[in-house]
Amino acid sequence: MLQNKPIHFYVANLGSEIQRIFVWKEKGDKEAMQNAYKRALSIIETIKNFDNKSANMEMDIISGSLVDLVSEREEHIDRVQMSSYFNPFALRVIGSI
């Protein structure tokens, strides 16, 4: 797949989808949560297509955390920590507009 945006653009968008997963899970809307999860996985695949070894390792960790988040298991990721991770990417995108 050809990426026409810089990697930080996709990482910032991944952060937005993950926030949506949290929101829909909190509201109990499993269908909307699953849709956001599928979009997040698609974005992760796009990021992996950049073939950045460090980013790929991070995406593997995030993918595993998302499985826990959308399952009925206890969450192992914290919403605030996740926001803190993605905020620099979002700020970089905003700064480039």
Residue-wise pLDDT tens digits, 53-79: 999 999 999 999 999 889 877 667 788
For residue 47, is it within any domain? Answer: yes
For residue 57, is it within any domain? Answer: yes
Cα distances from 36 to residues 18, 57, 69, 76, 85, in angstroms, run 7, 21, 12, 18, 18
pTM of the model: 0.88
DSSP 39: H
For residue 78, is it within any domain? Answer: yes
For residue 18, is it within any domain? Answer: yes
pLDDT of amino acid 70: 92
For residue 2, is it within any domain? Answer: no
The number of distinct structural domains making up the chain is 1
Q: Which domain holds residue 61?
A: 7-27+36-95
For residue 1, is it within any domain? Answer: no
Across all residues in the chain, what is the average pLDDT?
A: 90
**pLDDT at residue 38 above 70?**
yes
For residue 82, is it within any domain? Answer: yes
